[in-house]
Structure 1
Amino acid sequence: MSPPSRPDIPRAVWVTRAEPGASATAARVTAAGLAPLVMPLLETVDLPEAAAALGGDGPLAFTSANGVRAFARLSPRRSGPVYVVGPATAAAAQVAGFADIRSGAGDVEALAARILADAPPGEVLHASAREPAGDLAGRLQASGQPARRAAVYAARETSLAGAGLEEALAAPVVLAYSPRAGRILARLLAPLPARPAVLGLSPACLAPLAGLDLPARAAPDRPLESDLINLLASFR
């Protein structure tokens, strides 16, 4: 979508994304000529109990780089086709040692369409967050493709306090990366007399903020970080 005109926005940008992605985002924000303030709203933790559910020899599917990294720590399996939601997840899969990587076009629906078009044999295993953004396995099952989901990591809220949080809340622009982060942001921003503009990776990330009076809110047409950074760069 075309961003609103905000020529008065200064250079500071609050990056709310969890590590290790936050540092990569900060580098992209810096390359866009802006000053990132990294204070994640969420942190990821592996779910070791999931290891027993990761067997099989069917295709794997990942809807986040965090899912790839958690799976790789919990399972030695690296064979077979791996379906990923977009470029960042594909890069994580390559680093983890997967060879046959097949990418969707940036969201769960596009990834489901890619898998269904291939009609791979066997049961697709979606290694996901405990609270995934979309029901990939359900979408595949509804179309006749055997699939199941295994939660390999969870996102938990970070402890935010002190001068760092005050600085982040004073930033004129915030980047939101998930609906859950959007809910936390809504809670933090609600009592502020002056609120920032919020750019979300997708409209779903912005939905929890719908009741707040913000100077601006926007999401790119595709849920890709490259598009979000381009939106940010044109938002100034």
Structure 2
Amino acid sequence: MRVLVTRPQNKAGKTGALLSAMGHQPVAMPLFETVHHPDRAREAIARGRWAALAITSTEALFEIEAAADAPDMIDRPVFAVGAETAGRAREAGFTRVFTGAGNGEELAGAIAAEPSLFVRAPLLYLAGVPRAPYLERGLAALHVPFETVTVYAMEPLDYDAAEIEALAGATDAILFYSHMTAARFFALGAAKGLAERPDPPALLCLSANVAHAVPAELAGRIRIAEAANEESLLALLG
């Protein structure tokens, strides 16, 4: 199968290798470029005695190594939104990593279930822009003290109609890992061409929230992963 990968370039390579190993043909179409600010993360971590960290993307810990950049935080909890993000935290050297169920709302609930952590110090959320409000909204509603520091930005990339057709026109499936990415793909005008195909590609979404960005005319092509991780998403390819 020819599979369109809409992840940023720094992640598309890993996904492409997995697809090739499965016998598929990956086609990269990154819709955002990640701009990192690791010094902001280092400064934020060093600025206070935080009770715990929260991260909702692997990008939040870009170039961060716990031993050098967060020695006081190595053994404090790191709440990660999903398995891939948790894996990055462990690679960085953090030892107490909680793996969430794949969305910010549920992660907020898991954090709030540990109220004793935040009696003397708040949570530090290392975030990106743009971002969904679910984690911050959930933390506020559950009265968890926290501070958000923006440490990376997702800059949109542009494609014209000819480029979209060349990349997406003959695909059998398209992978969407976030609501933001799916919304960007269709904002570029891709829906009309796909809907007009006799057999539109399968639109494989990491979660129901991601699927909400798919236009109504293509709703019948949506398939949602059983769990919010890459393994479950790629399993939809059969």
State whether TM-score is above 0.5.
Answer: yes
Report the counterpart of residue 189 of structure 1 in structure 2. 190
The answer to whether the 8 Å contact 2:122/2:144 transfers is: yes
The answer to whether the 8 Å contact 2:206/2:224 transfers is: yes
Distance 1:160 1:204, change over 3 A: same
Name the SS for the 2:98 alignment partner: strand
Instruction: Decide which structure has greater helix share.
Output: 2
Instruction: Report % sequence identity.
Output: 30
Are 2:91 and 1:101 equivalent residues in the alignment? no
The 5 A counterparts of 1:1-236 are 11-47=1-37, 50-51=40-41, 52-54=43-45, 55-58=47-50, 59-69=52-62, 76-78=69-71, 79=73, 80-119=76-115, 120-121=117-118, 122-160=121-159, 166-186=166-186, 187-192=188-193, 193-194=196-197, 195-213=200-218, 216-233=221-238
Q: Distance in 1 between matches of 2:158 and 2:65?
A: 27
Q: Distance in 2 between matches of 1:34 and 1:141?
A: 44
1:54-98 deviation per Cα after TM superposition (whole angstroms, max 9, x unaligned): 43221100111112226669x922512211112111111122222
Q: 1:34 offset after TM fit, Å?
A: 1.6
Distance 1:105 1:213, change over 3 A: closer
1:75-122 deviation per Cα after TM superposition (whole angstroms, max 9, x unaligned): 922512211112111111122222221222222222222212222232
Gaps of 5+ in 2: none
Gaps of 5+ in 1: 1-10
Distance 1:214 1:207, change over 3 A: closer
Q: Distance in 1 between matches of 2:70 and 2:128?
A: 18
- C-alpha RMSD of matched pairs (Å): 2.6
TM-score relative to the length of structure 2: 0.81
Distance 1:139 1:163, change over 3 A: closer
Q: Distance in 2 between matches of 1:215 and 1:138?
A: 31
Q: Distance in 2 between matches of 1:53 and 1:23?
A: 30
